[in-house]
Structure 1
Amino acid sequence: MTSPIQKILFGSPGTGKSYSIDKTIIPEVLGIDKNEHPDNIIKTVFHPEYTYGDFMGKLVPITRASKVEYNFYRGHFLQALTQAYKNILPHYKDPITNRASNFRNLSDKDKQLELDKARKTACLKANNVALVIDEINRGNSSAIFGTIFQLLDRDDDGWSSYSVNITKIELMTILESIGVEEKPLANEQFEYKFPGEEKWKKSYLTFQGRVNGLNLNLKEQSIKIPPNLSILCTMNTSDNSIYFMDSAFKRRWDWEFINWDKTKPPKGNYGKEQNGTLDEQEWFDFIKKLNDFIKSNHASIRGIEDKQILENIL
């Protein structure tokens, strides 16, 4: 696991923002092999009709045999979160239920240190997960993220600084997605078993101990973003159909400007075989001068940098 990336790549259309994420950041920085582990990459595109339900989850009616049933649809964020949890879980060794440990005799401070140590060890071994959001400013990001907005603040260890509460159906979906099986008993009791286990268990303390590595609080129904989950976004700076991003939302991201590559001449209509009147170098010089003129007028014309002529849109 590397340090989590929470970044918005912005610039004019065609500069290679999505390409940079797909070909450089995901495979080289995060070490995710999309062929070997395709489940570790979740992609979505924001648009004006995209909602919190699409992002987090929602009940969807399905008709079967003339009867309407409601299934819970996992949104793109919940898919990414549960995949990150799923990658951590096999590596977490709970010090509370570990019979070989002396956990119960430790002070509260030392207990917390042991929990943090076990959680950190598991996260270091876990595979990274990338949530990729294209065109983040084409949707109402404040409404789409909703309470998830609070999770975007990260501590030095990569976990969210603050937790948020979720609904019971969202919590049950997370547990089901990471492979936990449950069956109800009388008096609001239940039995459970984790992936790869055969025996059913009833101890609530043991259950909570097993998910401590995920910073998942069963009683409070609260979650945090783990350090093996990165969120990568693209944004066109002057799209005509965009939503405003407030300062509080913006400050929770790293920002990287992606400019067009001046070392690669655009593939324009400059060859004699195409009846062009400019050779390759003349075309490149023309494009460079035209873009320099466009950028020099950015103070008087808002968003003019988005009107540059680029290689990938010629």
Structure 2
Amino acid sequence: MAAPLPFAESPALDARLVTKTSLPNPRAAIALLIMLWFQNGKPGSVVYGRPSGASSDGGIIDDVVIDAVQNYASRHNEPLGVDEIASFLKGNPLLESQMESLNSAFELVWRLGTFSFTNPTLARTAERTGGIRYQKQVRYTVNLDLLNILSEPNPGSFAGVLLNWIGAPIACDKVLESQLIRMLAVFSSGALFKTSKGDEGTVFTVSGVYDALLHGNETVDIVDPEKEVQGTTRILKPAISSGLFPDLAIKGNAAAFVEGKDRGVLAAYAERMHVSDKVSKVKLNIGKKSVAKNKEALPPVSEPHNLIFFGAPGTGKSHQLNQLAKGPFAKENVSRVTFYPDYTYSQFVGCYKPCTNESGDITYGYVAGPFLDTYLNACMHPYEQYVLIIEEINRANPAAVFGDVFQLLDRSVGGWSEYSVSVPDDMKKHIAERLSDLSKEERSSIEAYYDPDMDFGEFSRSAENDLALPPNMFIWATMNSADQGVYPMDTAFKRRWDFRYIGIDDGEDAKVTIEDEEKRLSDVVVSWGTEKAFKTNWNVLRKAINDFLSNDVKLNEDKLLGPFFVSPSSLADARFGAAFKDKVLLYLYEDACKTKHPKVFASDLNTYTAVCEAFDERGTDIFVDGFKSYYKGRAIAVSKDNASLEE
């Protein structure tokens, strides 16, 4: 007899109250989302859109989406032309908005589905800059089945409502439209909003708006007019304005009840929202994944358990990862290791090594590597968060370094390893010794966390025989595919990680300290030279080089220069010339443009030495003439008597 598959506990969704999300024309987005579900046979998920497209040019609209709308309309006796539909879909947020905005709207507000990119190498933030949108997959919730029940008595009228919402000139059944709006409002009753950015902003739900209005206030400020508004609140205002919250209207920046509404009916609805919020919060207290009863909850970590930051050299990947770790992780709970070509599994996980004992004698003992050390700390201190940061993960062979623990990277939605691996014999003794050093209080803490019925001995035996990553252990890494000698990652390894791309200009406005003065990196002026002192803005010079390398030399973006390619400390006047030669020119000559010298450097500069000497005397004239088109008018040469000379 087969038993049901066990419940997989999910982590709480990030409320995204500090993200810059918005969703213009929410009715059109909702209608197209529902329409794609119906037209594709009511599946669990739908892939839609072309691989990529500019948001200003219809985003990811393609013939498949247009055909789906046309066929859906035709099935319900509403013939529409292809060009007509294309014009209706122009501006539809489902095709033109960023994925982060779509997830905020449909995960957190209307609870209809969740979005992801079909390209697994794209970070969730890939659409933040550049105006490019990418093909997506939407996975639907069972709320679509409730909408299906609403449509079943009269599918033609329901289709008319959806088509009207996307912009088609079709009359819609106002009664059915009102029922759809009411159902969407029920779905959104538990969504969280915030009046403004910062600690002073008020977090609220729609029931809180009802409560404030029912207490005699004519209007309620859902946004602070003096502060920046972020997160789902940027979706709430247009949603109310478009009638998706049938009891509410917008007056300025405030919400008010629609005139003529029965206060008794509104009060009863608000009470039901409160009860719904209460009964939807269920506590799970069974088995290994139980929620602690007598300890404070772990600080939330909204980032993925396995995360890789990647981007061009000098984009500040390590810095951003360090900043990300400062919030949820105590300083002593952050471990760091750098991979290099000869780095091995034994160094990463652990192995027997010569050791010096207390008497000074040389003996052999098992020495844990950074992975096992972080793993044991996380297992033995379940009320703390731990992260292992791997710098330059692809400068070693990652599949070989991880070895059998690679299997542990498959995580459930709760953060536990989906599968365990057996503990090698040489590791068992070390784990037993580490566990034996725990205090009585630490043992009690473990017993309370993992299972009320599990004593420490059972936990110890389990830990000595099986490895499985706990949800409080995170593994984050950086990588740059442009480095020489890097190892390629196979698909099986990559799909177990979330990737986050750091754009070539993402850190250009960061605050840096140059000779005890704090400046924006994009404002830093550098100088160099011998016979005359050249001055320019570092960011202008960097961007000119990048434009030249990208357009004329045809280098990929991962070979370009990030804003931190020259460290801030080397941007000071006394150091920049040497740093530029040792870092930028050496990188271009020996690595990025190694086979393309004639396309980059002036024809009379045939050696790296000649390039460096000429840089002091000629400045940016070391590059071929084509470089000037990207740089002209930006550089200023200043003679020794400081008379300004415009190049």
Normalized against structure 2, the TM-score is what?
Answer: 0.34
Name the CA shift for 1:213/1:238 in 2 (closer, same or farther; >3 Å).
farther
Give the C-alpha shift of residue 241 in structure 1.
Answer: 1.5
**Using the alignment, how far apart are the partners of 1:60 and 1:249 within structure 2?**
29
**Which residue of structure 2 lines up, in the alignment, with residue 77 of structure 1?**
371
Please give the alpha-carbon distance, in whole angstroms, between the structure 1 residues aligned to 2:472 and 2:407.
Answer: 18
The reply on whether 1:41 has 2:334 as its aligned counterpart is: yes
> Is the Cα contact below 8 Å between 2:312 and 2:557 reproduced in 1?
no
Residue 394 of structure 2: which of 112, 134, 137 is its match?
137
CA distance in 2, matches of 1:75, 1:230: 16
Deviation, structure 1 residue 239: 0.4
1:242 counterpart SS class = coil
Q: Hey, what's the Cα distance between the residues in 1 that align with 2:472 and 2:402?
A: 19
Give distance in 2, aligned partners of 1:262 and 1:164: 44
**Structure 1 position 251, deviation (Å):** 0.7
Q: 2:482 aligns with which of 214, 238, 241?
A: 238
Q: How far, CA to CA, are the matches of 2:355 and 2:343 in structure 1?
A: 20
Quote the Cα distance in structure 1 between the aligned partners of 2:456 and 2:468: 12
Counterparts in 2 of 1:216-231, with a 5 A limit? Answer: 217=462, 221-231=465-475
Do the aligned partners of residues 309 and 133 (structure 1) sit closer, same or farther apart at CA in structure 2, a change above 3 Å counting? closer
- Tell me which of the two structures has the higher relative contact order, counting C-alpha pairs closer than 8 angstroms and 6 or more residues apart: 1
CA distance in 2, matches of 1:67, 1:285: 60
> Which residue of 26, 41, 48 maps to 2:325?
26
Question: Residue 60 of structure 1 aligns to a residue in which SS?
Answer: strand
**In the alignment, is the contact (CA less than 8 A) between 1:137 and 1:235 conserved in 2?**
yes
Give the letter for the 2:318 counterpart.
S
CA RMSD after TM alignment: 3.3
Alpha-carbon distance change, 209 to 22 in structure 1, aligned in 2, over 3 angstroms:
same
The 1:67–1:308 alpha-carbon spacing in structure 2 relative to 1, beyond 3 Å, is closer
CA distance in 1, matches of 2:362, 2:396: 31
Q: Report the equivalent of 1:10.
A: 310
Unaligned runs of 5+ in 2: 1-297, 442-450, 510-520, 567-579, 581-647
Secondary structure at 2:376's aligned position in 1?
A: helix
Query: What are the Cα deviations for residues 126-175 of structure 1, in whole angstroms up to 9, with x where unaligned?
Result: 11001010010100111100001100010011100111111133133223
Count of aligned residue pairs for this structure pair: 243
Within 1, Cα distance between the matches of 2:476 and 2:461?
A: 23
SS of the counterpart of 2:354?
strand
Structure-2 change in CA distance of 1:213 and 1:310 (3 Å): farther
* CA separation of 1:133 and 1:215: change in aligned 2, threshold 3 A: farther
- In structure 2, the residue corresponding to 1:130 is in which secondary structure? strand
The 8 Å contact of residues 374 and 388 in structure 2, kept in 1 or not, is answered as yes
Whether the 8 Å contact between 1:269 and 1:276 is mirrored in structure 2 is no
Which has the greater radius of gyration?
Answer: 2
Note the residue ranges of structure 1 that are not aligned, 5 or more in a row. 89-125, 182-193, 198-205
1:289 matched to 2:537? The reply is no
1:27-54 deviation digits (Å, cap 9, x = unpaired): 12xx1231xxx1x111111011111000
SS of structure 2 residue aligned to 1:154: coil
Equivalents in 2 of 1:41, 1:146: separation in Å?
22
Residue 214 (structure 1) shift: 6.5
Matched position secondary structure for 2:499:
strand
Distance 1:253 1:268 in 2: 39
The code of the aligned residue for 2:374 comes to A
Q: Residues 309 and 195 (structure 1 numbering): CA distance in 2 closer, same or farther, change over 3 Å?
A: closer
Residues 340 and 395 in structure 2, CA contact (< 8 A), matched pair in contact too: yes
Conserved in 2, the CA contact under 8 Å of 1:270 and 1:276? yes
Q: Following superposition of structure 1 onto structure 2, how do residues 1-314 of structure 1 map, counting pairs within 5 Å?
A: 1=298, 2-3=300-301, 5-23=305-323, 25-28=324-327, 31-34=328-331, 38=332, 40-62=333-355, 69-88=363-382, 126-177=383-434, 179-180=435-436, 195-196=439-440, 209-210=454-455, 217=462, 221-259=465-503, 260=505, 261-263=507-509, 264-265=521-522, 267-270=524-527, 276-280=533-537, 284-296=539-551, 300-301=554-555, 303=556, 305-308=558-561, 310-313=563-566, 314=580
The 3 A distance-change label for structure 1 pair 269 and 223 is same
SS of residue matched to 1:59? strand
Identity percentage of aligned residues: 31
SS at match of 2:367: strand
Match of 2:183 in 1: none
Contact 2:316 2:562 in 1 (8 A): no
SS at match of 2:374: helix
CA distance in 1, matches of 2:532, 2:398: 47
Question: Is the contact made by 1:150 and 1:162 (CA closer than 8 Å) also made in structure 2?
Answer: yes
Question: Partners in 2 of 1:131 and 1:214 — Cα distance?
Answer: 23
Distance 1:297 1:251 in 2: 34
Which deviates more from structure 2 when the two are superposed, residues 304-313 or residues 153-162?
304-313
Aligned partners of 1:211 and 1:11: how far apart in 2? 45
Counterpart Cα distance in 2 of 1:13 and 1:249: 23
The answer (yes or no) to whether the contact 1:165–1:223 under 8 Å persists in 2 is yes
